[in-house]
Amino acid sequence: MLRAAIPSLLTAVRLLVLPLVIVFTLRDATAAALSLYAVILLSDLADGRVARRFDTATRYGAYFDVLADMVVLLSLLGLFSVCGLLPIWLPAAPAIVAAAFLLSSRCSTPRYDPIGKHYGTVLYLLVGALLWGVGPSIRLGICAAIVAMSVLVLSSRAIGALRMSRN
C-alpha cells in the first residue's frame, strides 16, 4: 500500500518545496533557491519512474503530476513577472497550455503528444535559468521560447483533436 503512495508523495514534494523557493528567491538567496529547485526537478524526474517501476501508475497520478508541474512553473513565472524580470502577460501562455491540456484530456482518451511531452521539461530548464540569474537579452530569448513552445503545443493538441474527430 505504501508503494502505491510513493509517486504521489514525490509529486507533493514539489508543492511543499515551492514556497521555500519563492521565499529564497525574494531574499536573493540564489544558492538556496537553486538547491531547492533541484529537489523539485528530482521529484519530477522520479515520480513517474517510481510509478512505472512499482506498477502503480494511474491516470489520477498523471494529472496530479501535470498539475504540480504547472503550479510550480506558473508560480515562478508569475513571481518573475511581478518582480519585473518578465512581461506581466507571459505566464498566460503556459497557463493556456495547461488549461487546454486539462480540458482536452478530460474530453478524450489520453494520447501521446511528442511536443507536449517535452514542454514541461523545457519550461523547467528555462525557469531554472531565470532562477540562476540571466541578463536581459537572455530573458528576452526565454520569453520568445516560452511563447513559441506554447504555440507549438497548442497547435499540436489542436491537430491531434482534429484527427481524432475525423476518426
CA dist 11 and 137 (Å) reads 33
Question: Where are the domains positioned within the chain?
Answer: 2-166
- The CATH code for residues 2-166 is 1.20.120
pLDDT at 60: 85
| Nearest alpha-carbon partner for 46 in 13, 20, 16 | 13
Residue ranges in the chain whose pLDDT is less than 50 = none
CA dist 42 and 152 (Å) reads 26
CA dist 154 and 19 (Å) reads 29
pTM score, two decimals?
Answer: 0.90
For 72-115, what is each residue's pLDDT tens digit? 999 999 999 999 999 999 999 999 998 888 887 766 555 556 67
